[in-house]
Amino acid sequence: MTQGSKAVAWLNLAFGTLNVVLGALALAAVWAFAAMFSQRTLAPAALLLGLGTGLLARASLPQARHYGALLALAATYAAAYYQQILMAAVRIAGTLGVPLLAALRESGLGMLALLARMAMSSSLLAWICAGMALATLGAWPFNRRGS
């Protein structure tokens, strides 16, 4: 392997990783948006988050398939936690009657993360674990047998 092809492989891996992580966070933001307007947790949406992240990892990281499966697992959990942080900010904004950006700025990441961790019930964690399993399954490298 030449030096140039190693650099290209590394850049492909870095871009694929960034694509999976940012895609998972975008899916979590959509989940938070839907939960905000329905005023419910929408815990089964964790399955859609996991499936979307897994398929995104499969498409973005075809050269590093096992790494893609592990990344999909971790990105799904991080995105679900991010969704809970957004929902904590929404709850604070609604309670205090301030805009969402003001609640995000004034609350701080530490308090929002603590509120998000406190809001995770055991049923929500079960849905998130199922979504993580679905993400791993969606990104797992299945080998096709030729005929």
Residue 10 lies in a domain: yes
pLDDT of 39 > 90? The answer is no
Residue 83 lies in a domain: yes
The number of distinct structural domains making up the chain is 1
Per-residue pLDDT of 102-145, as tens digits, reads 998 999 999 999 999 999 999 999 999 999 999 999 998 776 65
129: Cβ contacts below 8 Å, ≥ 6 apart? none
Cβ atoms within 10 Å of 122's Cβ, excluding its own? 6
In contact, 50 and 76? CB cutoff 8 Å:
yes
Find the domain containing 75 and state its range.
3-139
